[in-house]
Amino acid sequence: MHKQSLFHISKREALPLHKALLIRGGIILLSLVFCGLVTTVLTGENPFSVYGTILDGAFGTSRRLGVTFRNVAILLGISLAVTPAFKMRFWNIGAEGQVLIGCLATTACMILLGDKIPNILVILISLIAALAAGALWGFLPAFFKAKWNTNETLFTLMMNYVATQLSAFFIIVWEVPKGAGKIGIINQTTKAGWLPELGNAYMLPILVAAIMTGVIYIYMQYSKHGYEIAVVGESQRTASYAGIKVDRVIIRTMVLSGALCSLIGFILTSGVDHTLTTTIVDGRGFTAVMVSWMSKFNPFIMIAASLLLVTMDRGATEVSSSLGLNHSFADILTGIILFFIIATEFFITYKVSLRKSGKKEG
């Protein structure tokens, strides 16, 4: 009566790191081959020339190289920012809104204070305003989660759109020229509130992301806070038996997470794009969630993961523009790579063995 399933699935002992990395590397290669096939099927191009175009699009000229690494830095920064909360098993998918509200706060300072007080003060006040706004966006869901166990995934999701509509509101309030429905480049002539360039236009975000990588690594690995986060993530009960104030850890970590997200927002508006649109974050808040998770919350693996996704994104943009396709092609490729990586986790965590046929049990 009872049908035996064909496979037996059991939990594996933890794989040694090099073996797990080898499997992941292999899967990423496989997913790239598959992406090439999909591209060939959809466009009829030779897969090797497609890869050539992808690499050319991402690294072909020094300008492209710069943009690619700057985008890596932005994505990496957001991924790092969401990591402490995830490690605590707090499913914050509101990074999109937390970054955007940082952009909005920065924009407000640049427009309202620009040219009225010294530039350095404008930048400082923008930074503080952005951090405060992001901290608030992180505090609200955390507070309700800690006090009344309100579902944080749904809460943070809604906060994204509150931030979006708030930005849309202020974009129209500050639109230039009236009726244009957009802000355009802020303080284009005076460059008030613009972050200074370090060497070239790409260096500053890269530097910030590099510092953040180190700081987050140390914070998570070697600080008391990092330890508390890990314990709360493993088991809230254990944490409270051990005398950790779970409420406080949740709120503190999310405030930090939100503030770091809006730090990236500050850099986006003040140092990179010098404008505010409702799509300035461009889904990277969501992508960062996936980057952080598939890197197992390890900051250094996140560098590689961000690089992979940004390369594919920039490359696919090049492929689609050279073949006259739609930019969304990049999203399809990103999706495919993510599916491959998501599926691999199963084979790293679990062991699948065929059942001996013929021997019917039970």
**Helix 299-322 with 284-294: angle, nearest 10 deg:** 130
What is the end-to-end Cα distance of the chain in Å, rounded? Answer: 10
Under the binding rule (CB under 8 A), the answer on residue 159 touching other proteins is: yes
Half-sphere exposure of residue 177: CA atoms within 13 angstroms, side-chain side: 0
Binding-site size, other proteins (CB under 8 A): 56
DSSP secondary structure letter of residue 198: B
Q: Which stretch binds other proteins (CB under 8 A): 49-57, 227-235, 248-256, 334-342?
A: 334-342
Q: Which stretch binds other proteins (CB under 8 A): 47-55, 118-126, 163-171, 200-208?
A: 163-171
**Closest to 109 (Cα-Cα) out of 127, 133, 93, 95:** 127
In the bound state with other proteins, the residue whose beta carbon lies nearer, of 199 and 324, is 324
- Selected binder of other proteins within 54, 85, 88, 157 (CB under 8 A): 157
DSSP secondary structure letter of residue 174: T
Under the binding rule (CB under 8 A), the answer on residue 200 touching other proteins is: no
Q: Which stretch binds other proteins (CB under 8 A): 215-223, 248-256, 259-267, 332-340?
A: 332-340
Long-range contacts of 186-192 (CB under 8 A, 24+ apart): 186/107, 186/110, 186/111, 186/114, 186/269, 186/274, 186/275, 186/276, 187/110, 187/111, 187/114, 187/115, 187/274, 188/274, 190/114, 190/115, 192/110, 192/113, 192/114, 192/115, 192/119, 192/122
Q: Which of residues 309-328 bind other proteins (CB under 8 A)?
A: 324-328
In the bound state with other proteins, the residue whose beta carbon lies nearer, of 16 and 181, is 181
Closest approach of other proteins to the CB of residue 184, in Å = 16
In the bound state with other proteins, the residue whose beta carbon lies nearer, of 214 and 335, is 335
How far, in Å, CA of 105 to CA of 116, rounded?
A: 17
Q: Residue 91, exposed/middle/buried by CB under 10 A (0-12, 13-18, 19+)?
A: buried
Tokens of 314: 């920039």
Under the binding rule (CB under 8 A), the answer on residue 289 touching other proteins is: yes
How far, in Å, CA of 211 to CA of 219, rounded?
A: 12
- Selected binder of other proteins within 25, 118, 196, 335 (CB under 8 A): 335
In the bound state with other proteins, the residue whose beta carbon lies nearer, of 135 and 333, is 333
C-alpha dihedral sign at 57, 58, 62, 63: positive
Interface mask toward other proteins for 88-117; x: CB under 8 A: ---x-x------------------------
Under the binding rule (CB under 8 A), the answer on residue 67 touching other proteins is: no
- Selected binder of other proteins within 46, 61, 62, 153 (CB under 8 A): 153
Q: Which stretch binds other proteins (CB under 8 A): 7-15, 29-37, 204-212, 236-244?
A: 7-15
Under the binding rule (CB under 8 A), the answer on residue 150 touching other proteins is: yes
In the bound state with other proteins, the residue whose beta carbon lies nearer, of 168 and 210, is 168
**Containing H/E element for 9?**
strand 7-11
Q: Give the binding site for other proteins (CB under 8 A).
A: 9-11, 91, 93, 144, 148-151, 153-155, 157-162, 164-166, 168-173, 181, 283, 286-287, 289-290, 293-294, 324-332, 334-336, 338-339, 342-343, 345-346, 349-350
